[in-house]
Amino acid sequence: MTERYTLPLALIQLEVPPPQVVAKIGEQPAWFIDALQLQADDYIIVRPHRGDALPGWQEISGAILSGSWAMVTDHAGWSERTAAWIRGAIEAQLPLLGVCYGHQLMAYALGGEVGDNPRGWERGLQTVTRTASDAWLNGLPAHFSAWLSHRQSVLAPPPQATVLARSALDACQVLRYSPQAFSVQFHPEFSREIMTACTPADVQPDSAVMGDTDWARTLLQRFWQQVRPRDQEASQR
């Protein structure tokens, strides 16, 4: 009889936050673990910037690529290695979710253009507007709030990508690349505490209030539900 067990979700951490941020709220994987209430056997953490090998397609159920204080346009070795892995993951039809830096890295890896946002630094609680219909967005309002903090953006999406949402300062807030791979510029894993900790000391913290439903967090949870059922037996069929 074939043994069945759930494959872990890979939390791919892309660089380390500044020390003052780590001291307050830890590093990026902890934010996703808390947001999704993951258990220890639900995930693995992969740190390419430390030299970690990126996982094989049959070893994981999917992957979340985190935000970062780095810039995609710096073309760091660990970032380029992760970009190559993304291309292979797309070909292998692995479920992927890129967040902020991960969003930009996915777009860059697949042929899009990433650079400094000509409209400036987008940060705080901002309004995201849906621009296309998509099953992943079903039930979401036409406009919803999300936490943002980024200086670079996807300036031109990859040819095969569909833009699903935008904001006042960024035309590519949500991208879908395939039936199981998409990315978001905003931070669905953020809470106000995380946003405040990530805000520089010389910048006034955002005082806007999230509505009754955190729709950005809902999208993160939907991705987890899509990934969670995939098991070892199913992946070998």
* AA identity, residue 32: F
pLDDT tens digits, residue range 223-234?
A: 999 898 655 444
Mean pLDDT of the chain: 93
Rg (Cα) of the chain, in Å, rounded? 17
The catalytic residue among 15, 122, 150, 187 is 187
**pLDDT band of 44, cuts 50, 70, 90:** very high
Q: What percent of the chain has pLDDT over 70?
A: 93
Phi-psi region of 120 (alpha: psi -120 to 50; beta: other; left: phi over 0): left
Structure tokens at 148: 């943002």
Q: How distant, in Å, are the alpha carbons of 8, 19, 122 from that of 25? A: 24, 10, 21
H/E element, 102: helix 101-109
49 is catalytic: no
Structure tokens at 108: 């860059």
Q: What is the mean pLDDT of residues 11-36?
A: 97
The catalytic residue among 15, 100, 103, 172 is 100
187 is catalytic: yes
Beta strands in the chain (DSSP E): 9-12, 43-46, 62-65, 96-99, 113-116, 122-130, 143-150, 152-156, 162-167, 174-178, 181-184
The catalytic residue among 150, 172, 189, 198 is 189
Q: What is the mean pLDDT of residues 109-121?
A: 97
223 and 97 Cβ atoms separated by less than 8 Å: yes
